[in-house]
Structures are given as structure tokens and as C-alpha cells.
Structure 1
Amino acid sequence: MDIKKFIRQRKALGYSQIALSQGICTQSTLSKFENNGKVPSLSILDQLCRRLGLTIDDLNRDDETTVCYLRATLNGIEENLMAEHFPQALKQLDQLDATTLTASQDRMQYYYLRGMLATLTNQPGSAALFNFTKILEELDERHQTIYSQLAYLGSGVLYARQGSMDQADFFFAKVINYLQANANGKWAHTSKERYLRIISMMYYAAEYHALNHRLAISDRVLTETINICATNHVTYFMPRIKLLLANNAIAAGMSTDAVDQLLDEAMVFARFNRNSVVQVQVAAVRNNYHKEIKHRS
């Protein structure tokens, strides 16, 4: 971000820091931005820029290479999240300087990744909810972007894993309504980033249905998800999809052959995608399942 351009414009128009910040923010907030590079909220920065006859994009235009690099980094982190490569994703995210993210979509993606990784790596729930709240109450107050849906999703997953199903129901209802309202058969033909996020939403919706013993619905959603994965040649969702199908098959009392086939497929996809999380889970499920079968016989 070209903060010097901002300062030059302020001085050219004769604004002191106190005068420019009046009615928008504190002088201290403006000073930290100009002197230390601490970027204020997008709402504040937008108002300051408009008072100077600038846009936020004006400050970013001279740094397009950096912006492209940051977006590529965020997308790489999100792919590692989807592939359950959590250590790599966390390491990459910790190396990212959030103050360099000025575009609203970049900041929303950053907070979504922070929140979802906190949820899936069993960090304190308050840490996850803080990040989701940043999206829902600050960056996307009107809930017009997919990031609000992703924040709902993350909140629902968090509460479901805590066993707080009333709260989980509230958030998953929003996600499921969104998926149903937009189920126009074109998920597989949208942008890469969008269909990958839709796949995530569908998978966790299927997991939620399974937790609520709606196994047929869960299996139907998983089948639709597999079709999208196949159409777009995406394999790194397949390990956990097959594992969830196997768990559903066990819960539904399907044959041992059917369960073992799904577990075999989950393991093959997990090895292919280097998904150590699912490999461990498959081994544990198979072991417990066959112990239970042996005990019953």
C-alpha cells in the first residue's frame, strides 16, 4: 500500500492529521497508519480516502505485484485447508502480515481462514468466533458475499463439534438455505475458488446431516459433491467424503463388504493426496468396526 501517496495528498490539501481524522477516527489511529503502517478498518480507511478525493484502490495501484502475491498466498492457504494440510496452512498464515491486506475480499478470506483453521485444529472457540464475527459484523455487514456463508459454516462446524446443536442448527440452516437457493446445477461450471468453497459447504452440510442421523440426506449431498469433484478433477476432498460415506454405512447397518470398500477407497484417496489426517482416521474406524463385528459374532 502506498501510504506516502496518502500523506502527500493530505498535505497537498492542507489537512492536518487532526483535521482529516475529525468525525472519522482518532488522530492516533491516523498517526499509526501514516507512521507505522497500521492499516485501520476498511470503513475508516475508505472515509479518510474519500475525504482526500482518493480511493483505496488508488493506494494499491502502485503495488499490484504485492497484491497478486498476497492473493496467491491466500488461495494457497485455502487449498491446504481444504486438503487438510493443517500444519502447512497454519505456518503460511502465520507468515502473512494482515496489515498488508487492504482489499475487503482479501481481509474476509484471511479472517475466514483464521477462523476455520482455529475450528478444525481445536483452538479455543473464542478465537474462531472472533474471526467469523469480523466478517459478519464489520466486513460484510449486509451478508452479500460468500464469505458470510463461509463464516456461518465455520460457526456451525464449531458449535457442532462442541456438541452445542441448537447453535449449530442456527448457522447450518443459513448454509443449507443458501445451497438450496443456489442449487441451479451450475456449481461445477463456476470459478475455481467458488466451486471449491461450495464443495466445502456441501461436505460439512453432509457431516451435519449425519450427526443428526439423517443418513440418506447426508449420502445424497455427498453424491452430489462427488459429481462436482469428478467434473472438475478435484481429488483432495475425496478422502473425507469416502470416510464419511463409510461412517454413514456403518451407522445404517450396511454389509461389511460395502463398508470395507468405502474405507479402502478413502485410504486410497488419502494416500494419493497425502492426507495423513484421514489415513489415521480410516485405520481407527476400520479397527473399531471389525472389533465390534467380532464382538457381536
Structure 2
Amino acid sequence: MDIQKFVRQRKSLGYSQVELSRGICTQSTLSKFENSGKVPSLSILEQLCRRLGLTIDELNQDDASSLRYLRRLMDTAEQHLMLERFPQAIGLLKKVAPENLAAPQDQMQYYYLQGMIGALTSGQLSATLFNFTKILDELDEEHQTIFSQLAYLGSGILYARQGSMDHADFFFAKVITYLQENASDDWSKAERLRYLRTIMMTYYAAEYHALNHRLPISNKVLDQAIGMCAAQHVTYFLPRIKLLQANNAIEAGGSIDSVRRLLTEAMVFARFNHSEVVEVQVATIRKNFENEIVNND
């Protein structure tokens, strides 16, 4: 077993032994595996490998061009993207060479992930839009797949965060129309990736409405997102959803109790899902909110 491949993957994604083992095993168990070759139980090893985008079989092979391997890397990168773990997502995508992706579906997933990471991390405008253009003008010219909607979403986010709201409006209008057309779907039976991608689109649509001070609409969309999360018992979108609800309540002049409740819920979900970024955001907003209450007394 190539334990060094495991160690290299962990370090390339920025995981410490404590972070990687969290919720799976003790740090001591992981250390014994990496440093002394003491292999843990199959269940533990599978979970550790899955978190790194590896399989146990891949520890015994060196086939970076395997399609199955590349798809697993992209699926894991997409999960990190949805959790806002951008360094991990970037690290995984660096292992994927687009020339090894023959199927248009795989190519679209790659360019969508590259573009969305750029949009959410303030990447270069031209480079980010190039990835979305590959989907919209080449790989899905008739705009029949969900990747076109994700390309619209990423383009809208990019323009909105750069303050070009006229451009953002154009793309978000397409996303919102798509969401409205699919609002009555039974999400408890939906294909997993389509389901998760649609929740993500719904959240960012709510964020877009809030950015334009359409708070009642934003809150309605957030309620829809919560209902979608419940359909398949997904919790890792809830920290951001609850935080946005709290921000909306503050901007709308909501009651002190309602704001505190929403901030508490955001913190609980953030800790449950190990969303350190949201934890910091909630703590900062709560501190500012409580200071404002004191100053207004």
C-alpha cells in the first residue's frame, strides 16, 4: 500500500492530521497509519480516503488518467466547493487535465467547477468567464443541461460581486426562471447531484435578491431552500442560509429576539458542519449587533 500517496494527497489539500481524522477516527489512529504503517479498519480507511478523493484501490496504483479516478476527483472537488472549502477544491482540480476528459458531460463539470471557484474567490474576470463560455458556446450550445444554468449562475455571481449589476441581472434572470420552472419537483426523489446543485442555485438567488434589497423575496427563496434541504436531510447549506436570514432580519429592522435566534441557529449549524468561515462571520455579526443594541439604549 502506497501510504506516501495518501500523505501527499492530505498535505496537498491542506488537511492536518487532526482535521482529516475529525469525525472518523482519532488523530493517533491516523498518525500510526501514516508513520508506522498500521492500517486502520477498512471502514475507517475508506472514510479517510473518501474525504481525500481517493479510494483504497488507488493507494495501490498510479493511474492519474483513469476516467473513474478523474470523475471521483471532480465530484469531491464539487462537494468542497459547496462547502466553501476552496483550497481543497482547487487542490483536487489541479490533478485533473481537461484533455483527459473525452465526454462533454465531464468537460462541462470541469469548466463549471473552475469557473465557479473563480467567481466565488474573486478570480480574474476574463479567465473565469472563459470557463463559462466553454460551456455556453461550445459544449452545451443549445443550453439543455444544468451546466448552462450553473454557468449563468457563476457569471451572475461574478458580475454582482464586481458591482456590474446590469450584467448580473441578465444572468440571474435566467437562473431564477429555471428555478421557478422546477419549483414543484419532488426533491426527495431527485438525482443527488442535480438536487445539490439546485439548492446551491437557490441559495445564491436568495443572496442576489438580498443584495438588491428585495428582502421579502429573498426570505421566501431561503424558505424554499430550507425545504429542499429537508427533502434529503442535507445540512451543510444551512449555516449560510441561516446567516443570510439573520442579515436580512437585521437590514429589515427585525426584532432583537428574532435576529438572535437566527444567529444562534447559524452558529449551531456552522459548528455541526465544521463551517469555520461561517462561524467567524456569525461571531462578527453578533458582536456588531449586540454593540449596536447597547449604543442605542
TM-score, normalized by the shorter chain, greater than 0.5 = yes
Q: Does residue 134 of structure 1 match 2:134? A: yes
TM-superposed CA distance for 1:156, in Å, is: 0.5
TM-score (norm 1): 0.76
Confirm or deny: 8 A CA contact 1:157 1:168 kept in the other structure.
yes
Confirm or deny: 8 A CA contact 1:136 1:148 kept in the other structure.
yes
TM-superposed CA distance for 1:95, in Å, is: 1.8
Q: Does residue 249 of structure 1 match 2:244? A: no
Partner of 1:106: 106
TM-superposed CA distance for 1:79, in Å, is: 0.7
Q: Amino acid of the residue matched to residue 183 of structure 2?
A: A
TM-superposed CA distance for 1:112, in Å, is: 0.5
Partner of 1:291: 291
CA distance in 2, matches of 1:157, 1:180: 19
Confirm or deny: 8 A CA contact 2:187 2:231 kept in the other structure.
no
Partner of 1:274: 274
CA distance in 1, matches of 2:159, 2:287: 28
Q: Amino acid of the residue matched to residue 253 of structure 2?
A: G
CA distance in 2, matches of 1:99, 1:272: 39
TM-superposed CA distance for 1:138, in Å, is: 1.0
CA distance in 2, matches of 1:188, 1:206: 21
CA distance in 2, matches of 1:261, 1:123: 35
CA distance in 2, matches of 1:235, 1:116: 21
User: Which has the higher mean CA deviation after the structures are superposed, 145-154 or 86-95?
Assistant: 86-95
TM-superposed CA distance for 1:236, in Å, is: 0.8
Q: Amino acid of the residue matched to residue 134 of structure 2?
A: K
Flag the structure with larger Rg: 1
Equivalences for residues 60-209 of structure 1 within 5 A: 66-209=66-209
Deviation per CA, 1:113-148, whole angstroms, max 9, x where unpaired?
001111111221222111111111111111111000
CA distance in 2, matches of 1:228, 1:183: 10
For structure 2, the 5+ residue unaligned runs are 1-62
TM-superposed CA distance for 1:107, in Å, is: 0.6
Q: Amino acid of the residue matched to residue 254 of structure 1?
A: G
CA distance in 2, matches of 1:260, 1:278: 15
TM-superposed CA distance for 1:271, in Å, is: 1.3
Q: Amino acid of the residue matched to residue 161 of structure 1?
A: R
Q: Does residue 236 of structure 1 match 2:236? A: yes
Q: Amino acid of the residue matched to residue 90 of structure 1?
A: I
Confirm or deny: 8 A CA contact 2:187 2:232 kept in the other structure.
no
TM-superposed CA distance for 1:252, in Å, is: 1.2
TM-score (norm 2): 0.76
Equivalences for residues 13-52 of structure 1 within 5 A: none
TM-superposed CA distance for 1:295, in Å, is: 2.4
Confirm or deny: 8 A CA contact 1:119 1:128 kept in the other structure.
yes
TM-superposed CA distance for 1:220, in Å, is: 1.0
TM-superposed CA distance for 1:68, in Å, is: 2.1
CA distance in 1, matches of 2:188, 2:161: 29
Q: Amino acid of the residue matched to residue 284 of structure 1?
A: T
CA distance in 2, matches of 1:166, 1:269: 34
Partner of 1:16: none
CA distance in 1, matches of 2:128, 2:136: 13
Q: Secondary structure at the match of 1:260?
A: helix
Confirm or deny: 8 A CA contact 1:187 1:198 kept in the other structure.
no
User: Which has the higher mean CA deviation after the structures are superposed, 243-252 or 68-77?
Assistant: 68-77
TM-superposed CA distance for 1:86, in Å, is: 1.1
Runs of 4+ in 1 over 4 A off after TM superposition: none
Deviation per CA, 1:269-289, whole angstroms, max 9, x where unpaired?
111111111111111211222
Q: Amino acid of the residue matched to residue 244 of structure 1?
A: L
Partner of 1:262: 262
CA distance in 1, matches of 2:233, 2:187: 14
Deviation per CA, 1:81-113, whole angstroms, max 9, x where unpaired?
001111111111112222211110111010010
Q: Secondary structure at the match of 1:99?
A: helix
Q: Amino acid of the residue matched to residue 267 of structure 1?
A: M
Confirm or deny: 8 A CA contact 2:203 2:241 kept in the other structure.
yes
CA distance in 2, matches of 1:96, 1:291: 48
